[in-house]
């Protein structure tokens, strides 16, 4: 019997990748192309929807050219919360894709919060009202893009996250659907009933008829239409998942007990919760994925500035880059009581303060650039630790360890520091494309192929830091966070 080959599309904010994965979970080919974002007004962030689609066509063509064997299926892992709105008849987007980073609806969201609507939204979706999510974005489109209302009246309006846009294009407009993991990030989806909430659609002034059909993550979503890509017609789309969800799946997590952390510009932490748990500690409740085994619920915490803080501090200190900052940090045994709170774009989970700004505290005449470098490395792992502890509080159970991925996770010093601050083992993935592999694994499961348990290249055990030193670092961090919050309140 021939071995299946799956093309996993990893459509991200800064680039689009495609990874060709065989039935044993091995990457046999890969391709990548950068993607451009634009910022037409302060706080706005957009991408051309057609650019997203053509980048996917390009990477599919690249990996397909590297394989003489027939492709068994396609899997999609995508940037979440980005909204695409288009005309079903022409297949053309009626406005640029509004990125997850876009804050154009911040004031509208604040108005809903002040009107006392947050509890209503959070109880249904697991998400606190925020401009991050597509609900308010689509409400903005309905109000300010003239074509949207007219198309809605004609039944031609289509609005969805990036996965639904790609599926529509791959199938030549034959299928308009999304998966439960992406739907759960829209702030319009009832995660208990697994259906769009008509109540919330009315609240955000969006037409429920314009939203895609929500399906399990391992559905056979449709087939490629001849001529849409370099692939022949009839190739099935076998899995769709949000990127953070796919990374958790790619790490091999199938039961509660471990946390996935992605170390990138920001950080996303996710842990399976077993059942639907509404957070009381600043986290989001979400659907990790759904398949023939049922719905897997999760808790997630998003940190706004994570590894980006390392690059920022390196520039501020006149160093050549992140590795130089890490090397400098290793020259001192501690931060000399210096604490850096990298609220360079506000504070994310679990603190959630958009007005917070970056602060360095505890400096004296004895402080050196090395101490600041060390405080920066500590800031990354301390933010992770805050979310990790919030997850333990929400689940009521201790978590066994952390599974790390993302570019900064390749730094051994950072990973050891993380293990010491958490007092838990940190396990680093042995594949860079963990999100794409997660989506591919889900697609292979749809084909009846179960991959072996995911391996991790290196484990970092706690123990390099004395208990009292850890307590001191945590105490100074908590004091610094409190000062940052108090300065905003003043």
Is residue 26 a contact partner of residue 41, using CB atoms and an 8 Å limit?
no
User: What predicted TM-score, i.e. pTM, was given to this entire model?
Assistant: 0.91
CA torsion 311-313-317-318 (nearest 10°) is 20
| pLDDT one-digit tens code per residue, 264-291 | 888 999 999 989 999 999 999 999 999 9
Helix spans in 145-192 (H)? 146-153, 162-170, 180-183
Q: Tell me the C-alpha distance between 236 and 442, whole Å.
A: 13
Q: 365, exposed or middle or buried, with CB in 10 Å at 0-12, 13-18, 19+?
A: exposed
pLDDT at 103: 87
pLDDT at 304: 86
pLDDT at 463: 84
Task: Spell out the CATH class of 5-244.
Answer: alpha beta
CATH code 3.30.420.40 for 253-423+455-490: yes
The reply to whether domains 5-244 and 253-423+455-490 share a CATH topology is yes
Question: Residue 396 contacts by C-beta under 8 Å, 6 or more apart in sequence?
Answer: none
Is residue 399 a contact partner of residue 388, using CB atoms and an 8 Å limit?
yes
pLDDT at 126: 95
| pLDDT one-digit tens code per residue, 23-78 | 888 889 999 999 999 999 988 999 999 999 999 999 999 999 988 788 999 999 99
Q: Where are the domains of the chain?
A: 5-244, 253-423+455-490
Which residue spans within 273-377 are E strands per DSSP? 284-291, 294-303, 339-341, 359-361
* Positions of the chain with pLDDT under 50: none
């Amino acid at each position: 019997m021939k071995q299946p080959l799956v093309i996993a599309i990893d459509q991200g904010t800064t680039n689009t990748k495609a990874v060709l994965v065989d039935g044993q979970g091995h990457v046999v080919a890969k391709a990548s192309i950068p993607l451009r974002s634009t910022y037409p007004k302060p706080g706005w962030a957009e991408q051309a929807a057609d650019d997203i689609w053509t980048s996917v066509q390009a990477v599919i063509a690249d990996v397909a050219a590297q394989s003489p064997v027939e492709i068994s299926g396609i899997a999609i892992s995508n940037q979440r919360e980005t909204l695409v709105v288009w005309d079903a008849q022409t297949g053309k987007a009626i406005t640029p894709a509004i990125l997850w980073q876009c804050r154009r609806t911040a004031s509208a969201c604040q108005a809903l919060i002040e009107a006392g609507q947050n509890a209503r939204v959070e109880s249904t979706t697991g998400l606190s009202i925020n401009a991050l999510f597509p609900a308010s974005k689509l409400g903005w489109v309905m109000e300010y893009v003239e074509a949207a209302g007219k198309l809605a009246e004609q039944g031609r309006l289509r609005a969805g996250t990036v996965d639904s846009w790609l599926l529509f294009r791959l199938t030549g407009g034959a299928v308009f659907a999304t998966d439960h993991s992406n739907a759960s990030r829209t702030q319009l989806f009832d995660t208990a009933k697994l259906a769009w909430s008509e109540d919330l659609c009315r609240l955000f002034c969006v037409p429920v008829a314009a939203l895609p059909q929500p399906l399990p993550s391992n559905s056979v979503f449709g087939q490629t239409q001849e001529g849409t890509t370099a692939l022949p017609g009839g190739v099935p789309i076998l899995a769709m998942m949000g990127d953070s969800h796919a990374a958790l799946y790619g790490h091999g997590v199938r039961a509660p007990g471990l946390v996935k952390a992605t170390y990138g510009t920001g950080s996303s932490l996710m842990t399976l919760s077993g059942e639907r748990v509404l957070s009381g500690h600043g986290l989001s409740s979400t659907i990790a994925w759904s398949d023939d085994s049922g719905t897997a619920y999760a808790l997630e915490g998003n940190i706004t500035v994570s590894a980006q803080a390392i690059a920022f501090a390196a520039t501020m200190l006149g160093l050549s880059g992140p590795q130089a900052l890490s090397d400098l940090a290793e020259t001192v045994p501690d931060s000399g009581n210096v604490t850096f709170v990298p609220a360079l774009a506000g504070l994310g989970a679990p603190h959630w303060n958009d007005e917070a700004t970056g602060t360095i505290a505890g400096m004296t005449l004895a402080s050196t650039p090395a101490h600041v470098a060390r405080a920066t490395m500590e800031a990354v792992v301390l933010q992770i630790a805050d979310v990790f502890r919030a997850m333990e509080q929400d689940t009521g159970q201790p978590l066994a360890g952390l599974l790390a991925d993302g570019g900064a996770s390749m730094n051994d010093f950072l990973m050891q520091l993380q293990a010491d601050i958490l007092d838990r083992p940190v396990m680093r993935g042995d594949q860079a494309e963990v999100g794409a592999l997660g989506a591919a694994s889900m697609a292979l499961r749809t084909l009846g192929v179960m991959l072996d348990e995911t391996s991790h290249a290196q484990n970092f055990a706690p123990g390099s830091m004395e208990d009292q030193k850890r307590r001191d670092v945590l105490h100074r961090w908590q004091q610094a966070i409190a000062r940052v919050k108090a300065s905003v309140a003043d």
